[in-house]
Amino acid sequence: MVSASNRAKNISYAIREVVVYAKKLEKKGIKVLKLNIGDPIAYDFDTPQHMKEALYKAALDGYNGYAPSEGYEELRKEIANREKRRNGMDYDIDDICITTGVTEALQIFLAACLNQGDELLVPGPTYPPYNLITAFHGAKPVPYATVEVEGWQPDIDDIRKKISERTKAIVIINPNNPTGALYPAKVVKEIINLAAEHNILVVSDEIYDDIVFDGKHYATASLAKDVPIITFNGFSKVYLVPGWRVGYALFNNPNGELDEIKDAFLRIARARLCANSVCQLAMVAALKGSQQHIEEMVKKLRERRDFAYKRINEIEGLSTAKPEGAFYIFPKIEKSVWKSDKDFVLDVLNETHVLLVHGSGFCPVYGRDHFRAVILPPIELMEEAFNRIDVFMKRRLSE
SS3 sequence of 300-342: HHHHHHHHHHHHHHCCCCEECCCCCECCEECCEECCCCCCCHH
234-260 average pLDDT score: 95
pLDDT tens by residue, 365-376? 999 999 999 999
CATH code for the structural domain at 6-46+292-398:
3.90.1150.10
pLDDT digits (tens, 9 = 90+) for 46-63: 999 999 999 999 999 999
Is residue 248 over pLDDT 90? yes
Alpha carbons 337 and 351: distance in angstroms, whole number? 15
CB 360 within 8 A of CB 187: no
Q: Provide the H-helix boundaries in the chain.
A: 6-9, 14-26, 49-60, 73-87, 101-113, 129-136, 156-162, 185-197, 259-271, 277-288, 292-313, 341-352, 379-398
Asked if the bond preceding 175 is cis, omega within 30° of 0, the reply is yes
Q: State the pLDDT at residue 364.
A: 94
Return the CATH fold of 50-288: Aspartate Aminotransferase; domain 2 (3.40.640)
Yes or no: say if 355 and 18 are a contact pair by the CB < 8 Å rule.
Answer: yes
pLDDT-based confidence at residue 44 (cuts at 50, 70, 90): very high
Check if the beta carbon of residue 195 is closer than 8 Å to that of residue 181. no
Check pLDDT > 80 for residue 198. Answer: yes
The reported pLDDT for the residue numbered 255 is: 87
- What is the percent of the chain where pLDDT is above 70? 100
Higher pLDDT, 86 or 15: 86
- Tell me what the mean pLDDT of segment 289-306 comes to: 97
pLDDT band of 227, cuts 50, 70, 90: confident
Going by pLDDT thresholds of 50, 70 and 90, the confidence category of residue 355 is very high
Torsion of CA 167, 200, 99, 115, to 10 degrees: -40
Given a contact cutoff of 8 angstroms between Cβ atoms, the answer to whether 112 and 261 are in contact is yes
**φ, ψ for residue 64, nearest 5 deg:** -110, 5
If you average pLDDT over residues 374-387, what whole number do you get? 98
Separation CA 176–CA 206 (nearest Å): 8
pLDDT of 257 above 80: yes
Look over the chain and give the mean of its residue pLDDT values, rounded to a whole number: 95
Biggest distance spanned by C-alpha atoms of the chain: 65
Residue 309 has pLDDT above 80, yes or no: yes
CB 172 within 8 A of CB 202: yes
Q: What is the pLDDT of residue 193?
A: 96
Residue 10 predicted with pLDDT over 80: no
Backbone angles phi and psi of 160, in degrees to 5: -60, -45
**pLDDT score at 12:** 78
Query: Cα dihedral sign for 154, 155, 160, 164?
Result: negative
Confidence of residue 272 (pLDDT cuts 50, 70, 90): very high
Q: What is the DSSP-derived secondary structure letter of residue 221?
A: G
Average pLDDT of 131-155? Answer: 95
Parallel, antiparallel or unpaired: strands 140-147 and 119-124: parallel
Give the pLDDT score at 5. Answer: 84
Is the fold of 6-46+292-398 the same as that of 50-288?
A: no
Q: Model confidence at 4, in pLDDT bands (50, 70, 90)?
A: confident
Taking a C-beta distance cutoff of 8 angstroms, is the pair 164, 117 a contact? no
Cα separation, 151 vs 93, whole angstroms: 36
In angstroms, rounded to a whole number, what is the distance separating the alpha carbons of residues 164 and 160? 9
Kindly tell me if the per-residue pLDDT of 336 is higher than 80.
no
At 55 the pLDDT is 98
R_g of the chain, CA atoms, integer Å? 21
pLDDT band at 328 (very low <50, low <70, confident <90, very high): very high
Find the range with the poorest average confidence among 121-125, 256-260, 262-266, 334-338: 334-338
pLDDT tens track for 157-188: 999 999 999 999 999 999 999 999 999 999 99
Domain boundaries, the chain: 6-46+292-398, 50-288
Over residues 188-196, the mean pLDDT reads 96
Angle formed at CA 92 by CA 103 and CA 278, multiple of 5 degrees: 50
Residue 226: pLDDT band (50, 70, 90) is confident
pLDDT in tens, 81-126: 999 999 999 999 999 999 999 999 999 999 999 999 999 999 999 9
Looking at residue 392, its pLDDT comes to 97
For the segment 379-383, the average pLDDT, to the nearest whole number, is: 97
